[in-house]
Chains A and B, each alone.
With several copies, the nearest count.
Chain A
């Protein structure tokens, strides 16, 4: 996975969040405070502003910049979570201009570990972690197979899609949605949804 693909990934992600802004916000309106789409587009608009400054730096710098930018522009719960995800992901691949499958796994693992440390989600809490935990498990299983990053991502995308759908029947135990108790059941988690778009756009960028 080359640096240019990372830049492409980020641009696609910005586009998708803009397209899905209302959809994400509607998901959040059902069980949160109706701002997740607004938060993500605000954050990625800032990322797009910052990107030219670091586009010629190494991958780690780019990823860390994404993290710092999200952290200082998103706010709410998803700001520190995604901020940490990109920041820790970047720190895990220090100095690289391209990522091997192993690098990629290390990056995702470190990022998701950041989410876990920051938000302390447990599996089944109905958060973005319920998307990432099965994805990391699947990545780990396949990482030794000799797949390149593109093949790896393509292979785990169905896992992510299933994990996303699996958030629907859960009762939230973290974040704003938790205050709804049983009324949170039956809705797809907004943060898991925006996380799914990260893998979907990456798959497109690598195709």
Chain B
């Protein structure tokens, strides 16, 4: 394993120290660990908080700033953070209008954020949790823990962050976030495994001529392996998995102010005529030039399928350490989503 690290035990902490040094507009706290806007709390504004295992940078810490997240809770590499981090972060950023937890659908993240929501609510802070579960590689919500939260997370943080900045209250932020999640779908392809620092060796072995299809963001195996193919083939496969994905129904648990309420949500499939944001993401080790080849194919497939790409985002935004590969996210937009997508944002990882 070759990485720009010192002791594997301190990887996350030292990277956060670097962030704190580089970005005085952020505050980084340890014990418990979280990041927040240095100008938090912002009175009267809904505070948006996310978090999850580290190793996906710039997500989430790099998205803290004006027009996006108020705070982020980084766990160890690929390990969910703990409720005490989330509670401390929520308290630091709540400006009286409540806190929205934006949670990727992994069992660990979900349960830790649920505990945090209960504790934050018990402290008299308004709180809401919204799940992101957009990975179409997972077909089934009855036999699995449901779709994983992947690329749509980045788009949701941007869009809901802008809405909060524009004065949306907690309920409207939650509704918008839920809608963005329901409008977004993703699919990922790995060319190489990542290497978790603590493990010191690649998570899985992938032959020189193989790719792993339908991956998540933790180096977990995907749905299947394929022989390496031209980017046209790989990008088309990913795009079609997303665009041809049928309606998806599952039950989510949301905090309703007093307790947990189950909601049955159905994501409708894409339809001809839809306008979309196209997000082509690097898994970390793939350089941006190659992403443009993916985008080229994606644009052609969208055109065939009658989808109009109205905005795009291309680069490494939700990564899996040093993994080579890409993911595609398509997000259907309406005027509300588009307005907030276009709003200004100033964070280390995304600026507009």
Interface residues of A (CB under 8 A from B): 33-35, 38-39, 71-77, 79-81, 83-84, 118-119, 171, 173-176, 178-181
Q: Are B115 and A39 in touch, CB under 8 angstroms?
A: no
Contact assessment for B108 and A72 in the assembled complex, using a CB-CB cutoff below 8 Å: no
Nearest neighbor of B145 in chain A, beta-carbon distance = A178
Q: List 10 A-B contacts (CB under 8 A).
A: A33-B78, A35-B79, A75-B80, A77-B80, A83-B115, A84-B115, A118-B111, A173-B142, A174-B107, A175-B107
Number of B interface residues in the complex (CB < 8 A): 33
A35 to B78, CA, bound (A): 9
Majority SS of interface residues in chain A? helix
B84 touching A72 by the CB < 8 A rule? yes
Interface of B is mostly: loop
Report the separation of the CA atoms of residues A111 and B237 in the bound assembly, to the nearest whole angstrom.
Answer: 46
Cβ contact within 8 Å between B218 and A71: no
CB neighbours (8 Å) of A34 from chain B are 199, 203
- What's the nearest-Cβ distance from chain B to residue A89, in Å? 16
In the complex, what residues of A have CB within 8 A of residue B84's CB? 71-72
In contact, A77 and B220 (Cβ under 8 angstroms): no
Do A38 and B145 touch across chains, with their CB atoms under 8 A apart? Answer: no
Tell me if A75 and B108 are in contact (CB < 8 A): yes
Alpha-carbon gap, A76 to B79, bound state (A): 5
- Of the residues A33, A81, A118, A179, contact of B144 by C-beta under 8 Å: A179
Residue of B108, B143, B218 with most partner-chain A CB within 10 A: B108
In chain B between 66 and 121, which residues have their CB closer than 8 angstroms to a CB of chain A?
75-76, 78-85, 106-108, 111-112, 114-115
Residues of chain A within 8 A (CB-CB) of B75 are 75
Residues of B contacting A119 in the complex (Cβ-Cβ under 8 angstroms): 107, 111
| CB closest chain-B residue, reference A34 | B199
Tell whether B221 is near chain A: CB-to-CB under 8 Å: yes
B280 on the interface (CB 8 Å rule)?
no
Question: In the docked arrangement, what's the CA distance between A84 and B216, Å?
Answer: 28
Of all A-B residue pairs in the complex, the 4 with the closest CB atoms, nearest first, are A80-B111, A76-B108, A72-B84, A178-B144
**Max chain A C-beta neighbours (<10 A), residue from B32, B83, B142:** B83
B83 A176 Cβ-Cβ under 8 A: no
Q: Is the CB of A80 within 8 A of B83?
A: yes
* B80 contacts A79, C-beta separation under 8 Å: yes
Which residues of B have CB within 8 Å of A38? 198
Known: A173-B144, A176-B107. 8 other contacts (CB 8 A): A39-B79, A75-B76, A77-B111, A81-B111, A118-B114, A119-B111, A179-B220, A181-B143
Specify which of B138, B143, B145 is in contact with A175 (CB 8 Å cutoff): B145
CA distance A35 to B203 in the complex (A): 12
Closest CB in chain A relative to B1 CB, distance in Å? 15
Interface contact tally, CB-CB below 8 A = 82
Rounded to whole Å, the gap between the CB of B343 and the closest CB of chain A is: 33
Return chain A residues, CB-CB under 8 Å to B32.
72
A174-B216 Cα distance, complex, nearest whole Å: 16
**Contact check: which of B82, B114, B203, B218 meets A73 at CB < 8 Å?**
B82
Fill in one digit per residue for B187-207: 1 if any A CB lies within 8 Å of its CB, else 0: 000000000001100010000
Taking CB atoms and an 8 Å cut-off, the chain B residues in 107-142 that contact chain A are 107-108, 111-112, 114-115, 138, 142
- Chain A positions within 8 Å of B106 at CB level: 176
| Chain B residue contacts of A174, Cβ below 8 A | 107, 145
B-chain residues with CB within 8 Å of residue A179 when the two chains form the complex = 138, 144-145, 148, 216, 220
Count chain A CB atoms within 10 A of each CB in B53, B80, B111, B143 and give the residue with the most.
B111
Task: Give complex CA distance A180, B204 in Å.
Answer: 14
Q: What B residues does A72 contact at CB under 8 A?
A: 32, 82-85
Q: Which residues of A contact B85 (CB under 8 A)?
A: 72
Closest Cβ–Cβ distance, residue A26 to chain B (whole Å):
12
**A178 CA / B146 CA spacing, docked (Å):** 9
Shortest Cβ distance from A112 into chain B, in angstroms?
15
Q: Is the CB of A79 within 8 A of B144?
A: no
Check A171–B107 contact: CB distance below 8 A: no
CB-nearest residue of chain A to B112 = A80
Answer whether A176 and B145 are a contact pair too, CB < 8 Å, given A75-B112, A84-B115.
yes
* Smallest CB separation, A9 vs chain B (Å): 24
Provided the pairs A175-B145, A176-B220 are in contact, do residues A75 and B82 lie with their beta carbons within 8 angstroms? yes
Q: For the complex, give the distance between the alpha carbons of A83 and B111 in Å.
A: 11
Cα distance A80–B108 in the bound complex, in angstroms? 8
